[in-house]
Structure 1
Amino acid sequence: MDQQQILDYLTQNNIHHVKFAFADIDGILRGKVIHIQKFIAGLEQGFGFCDVVFGWDSNDQAYDNVNITGWHTGYPDRPSRIDLATFRTIPWQNNIPFFIADFSGPGNEDVPCPRTLLKRITQQCTDMGYHPEFAQEFEWFNFSETPKTLAQKSYINPEPLTPGMYGYSLLRSSQQSDFYYALVNQLEQFNIPIEGLHTETGPGVYEAAIIHDHVLAAADKAVLFKNAVKEIASQHGIMASFMAKWNESLPGCSGHVHQSLFSTNQSTNLFYNEADPLHMSDLMKHYVAGQLYCMPHILPMYAPTINSYKRLVEGAWAPTTLTWGVDNRTTALRVLSSSPNSARLETRIPGADSNPYLAMATALASGLYGIKNKLTLPSQPVQGNGYLDKSNGTLAANLLEAAMDMQNSPIAKELFGESFTRHFTQTRIWEWQQFSKQVTDWELRRYFEII
């Protein structure tokens, strides 16, 4: 719907309030409900929003190491702007109209808005003559908890929704059929159609694949998916967690990104070549080579938390090496090229804790880097166990190492700009500093008595 159609819809349905939100640097939705009069008045000039939302972490603690905002600036308002193309209604909240916003446009040139970054890189892709088609899939754990009960337990030993492992179990999903089908049906009504939903290996864990779309719409859907799942789960007395690795002995939660480039009229998948032995076009080879080359320089964009790196361990269905393979789930990059309709690249590094805007922006920007520079693949596809192939290098072992590599990288600054790179890496270093201060249960158990 265009602007007039949306205004007509609001008037005809006697709607007095709308909700809008945007994603912060961690991918957390921040927003508010506003009166229809305020909504109409702000369509041209934007809606003032305190820029502290880019000056604090996921626990609302103010950074002391960033320049964009802080006590030194007085935390002024910045104009957030609603994207009317994102209009939908929330079926589990009385169908209140909902919009996604970002911080693009005048007055926001230095704001490190993830959606704005993706829009800029998407425009580069369009200018090169390609249509980027993306999708993200998620694994997440569900628990028989509420925020209150889990806090009372100090977040120790949360109770999974179901016991046992049971991947692809029809029994387990049928035992939670009210919740299971609420996800399927209400997400569809929320314009997030699910290609597939099933249990994964682990107690109470689900996996969902979102149907692919243009990269910006795909990222919008992925961001909204995570928040929507949590809200729907809450209505069923369930807590959903997209933490990358909540338990050492269980598999982690992935957020794999699927991607392909089409012709501008979307008629031809440019990643497919029937004549090539692997059915990969030269364009796809350059794209994959670009991601491999850039990966050590931009890893925190895929793996942004302390916990992300607990998932990236050998033998846990997550990559640890700079590798690529054809339909190989042990490599960082999995090429799927069996047909012209579905030829795509699956970037397997992102976890469920990734910010979809940043994960997709990174995948696209690094792939385009390979195309622009006509990079060639450094090796043949890995056959067998990709954990053993370290010929191209390995992923950084923790967030600090990855953030320092990115902060000092000219590649990262070329892909994302110096201002964004500086701000983002400083927020990741802050995250490491907060973690390093903590005295953990592990330390108490190990050192309290015996040392």
Structure 2
Amino acid sequence: MASKLDSLSQWLKDRKIIEVECLVPDMTGIARGKISPTSKFLAERGMRLPESVLLQSVTGDYVEDELYYELLDPADIDMFCRPDPNAVFVAPWALESTAQVIHDTYDKFGNPIDLSPRNVLKRVLALYAEQGWRPIVAPEMEFYLTQRCDDPDYPLQPPVGRSGRQETGRQSFSIDAANEFDPLFEDMYAWCEAQGLDLDTLIHEEGTAQMEINFRHGDALHLADQIFVFKRTLREAALKHNVTVTFMAKPMTGEPGSAMHLHQNVVDAHSGHNVFASEDGSMSELFLNHIAGLQRYIPEALPLFAPNVNSFRRFLPDTSAPVNVEWGEDNRTVGLRVPDSSAQGRRVENRLPGADANPYLAIAASLLCGFIGMQEGLHPSPPVKGRAYERRNLRLPLNLEAALEAMEQSKTLERYLGRRFCRGYVAVKRAENENFKRVISSWEREFLLLSV
């Protein structure tokens, strides 16, 4: 570790970095941490943060007191945050030369903090490593560009592009519609290249001013770090061009939701062979076990893919999103799609995670569900041919409250992810849900105010 930290020190000096953003992803995926002068960062090689930041909700509130003091030390002690030399990125938008360094979290005895989303993903990857396997993932991130608006009661509107006009109608895969925002995307690509992010293609998605960025396949932890940094990068590029970018799962009424599709397969760590393919190129038993694990356990892990009240708006009928854990070959209407590919490229695409999901937790949960299926030798349902939106046999919980109840009752998730993490995560999401229920919506004012 010392040599890696020495190489990090040299990296910072070579790039004349003046300031370091020391980052820890919280349950929601928000970057918590401290901004430090490089000299102080190099001298301390880490930081301390209250362990309680890992139980903050998206509103900045905490879980109820009784559970708070059960899950955390009553003295609100610090955790020790150590920089990961493999998770270092420049911040090209900063006025001064700045680096972003993602940190891992430990207690005073050097044990990984089990509430940390990044540690949760590491825990799942260790399960694969024990079997001599290495997961490969390729995320696809959907998002909307919108006009800037400082009043949350107003519906979001598409931004004005280079033509001076707002986009209208559905423009799926339109090159010209994507080119309306060329200056923004040129900055995005330049900044991502400066950070070493493995972006692939840019696509105009189905919604009005809805886009998708695909990442090249690679190591699961590194890709989770990249998504975490990419979200910050794209928001900064949008601000520069006076628009807003949102990764909400369903930001606009009448428009499709935004997903974080996860392509995943597993290779032998020594030979690099895709264990999802048999010697004759057919689907291996492990592949079918993996799909069966996703089918069996995604309903219990759904809050890790759909973490917010808004997430479940994406699953409403006629929203172009899968609403079940059916699987099928080259079928975009199922939750688990098997793309048409070579044997070595065989993979499953989990189409259920929303763009609002914490990337560390969504990837961890998706890989874990498949892993359990491989360990338990589960068998999947028959693959679906044709449209699957209306199939009801393998449907998901219908709202966040039901999903949290299913996760809370899951002894399997508790066994693999730890009781403290499962209880803490459910508690954070319940706190957010209670906060949401206190807000009176525009629908209630429109239809109930003078009618009931």
Same fold (TM over 0.5): yes
Which residue of structure 1 lines up, in the alignment, with residue 25 of structure 2? Answer: 23
Q: Which amino acid aligns with 1:347?
A: N
Q: Which amino acid aligns with 2:13?
A: T
Matched residue count: 440
Q: Which amino acid aligns with 1:17?
A: E
CA contact (8 A) 1:18 1:36 kept: yes
CA contact (8 A) 1:296 1:405 kept: yes
Among 344, 349, 370, the alignment partner of 1:346 is 349
C-alpha change, 1:40 and 1:195, in structure 2 (3 Å) is same
CA contact (8 A) 2:52 2:72 kept: no
CA contact (8 A) 1:336 1:342 kept: no
Q: CA deviation at 1:95?
A: 4.4
Among 302, 306, 321, the alignment partner of 1:303 is 306
Which residue of structure 2 lines up, in the alignment, with residue 128 of structure 1? Answer: 131
Aligned partner of residue 267 in structure 1, secondary structure: coil
Which residue of structure 1 lines up, in the alignment, with residue 227 of structure 2? Answer: 222
**Counterpart mapping for 1:107-186 below 5 A:** 110-145=113-148, 150-151=149-150, 153-161=151-159, 162-164=166-168, 165-186=170-191
Q: Which amino acid aligns with 1:301?
A: L
Distance 1:344 1:331 in 2: 15
Q: CA deviation at 1:350?
A: 0.4
Which residue of structure 2 lines up, in the alignment, with residue 245 of structure 1? Answer: 250
How many percent identity over aligned positions? Answer: 28
Which is worse superposed, 295-304 or 161-170? 161-170
Aligned partner of residue 92 in structure 1, secondary structure: coil
Q: Which amino acid aligns with 2:246?
A: S
Distance 1:416 1:49 in 2: 23
- Aligned pair 1:320/2:323, yes or no? yes
The TM-score normalised by the length of structure 1 is 0.92
Which residue of structure 2 lines up, in the alignment, with residue 99 of structure 1? Answer: 101
Aligned partner of residue 40 in structure 1, secondary structure: helix
Q: Which amino acid aligns with 1:59?
A: T
CA contact (8 A) 2:202 2:212 kept: yes
Q: Which amino acid aligns with 1:47?
A: M
Aligned partner of residue 197 in structure 1, secondary structure: strand
Q: CA deviation at 1:443?
A: 1.0
Q: Which amino acid aligns with 1:426?
A: A
Distance 1:9 1:321 in 2: 46
- Which ranges of structure 2 fall in alignment gaps of 5 or more residues? 160-165
Q: CA deviation at 1:431?
A: 2.0
C-alpha change, 1:355 and 1:14, in structure 2 (3 Å) is closer
The TM-score normalised by the length of structure 2 is 0.92
Aligned partner of residue 143 in structure 1, secondary structure: strand
Q: Which amino acid aligns with 1:156?
A: Y
CA contact (8 A) 1:69 1:75 kept: no
| Structure 1: 4+ residue segments shifted above 6 A | 69-72
Which residue of structure 1 lines up, in the alignment, with residue 58 of structure 2? Answer: 58
Which residue of structure 2 lines up, in the alignment, with residue 421 of structure 1? Answer: 422
CA contact (8 A) 2:156 2:252 kept: no
Q: CA deviation at 1:285?
A: 0.7
Distance 2:193 2:345 in 1: 22
Partner deviation per Cα, 1:345-398 (whole Å, 9 max, x = no partner): 111110100001000100111111011111111x2101111123223x310011
Distance 1:417 1:228 in 2: 32
Distance 1:12 1:422 in 2: 44
Q: Which amino acid aligns with 1:16?
A: I
CA contact (8 A) 1:64 1:70 kept: no
- Aligned pair 1:193/2:203, yes or no? no
Which residue of structure 1 lines up, in the alignment, with residue 163 of structure 2? Answer: none
Distance 1:13 1:177 in 2: 28
C-alpha change, 1:380 and 1:111, in structure 2 (3 Å) is closer
C-alpha change, 1:61 and 1:108, in structure 2 (3 Å) is farther
Distance 2:140 2:362 in 1: 12
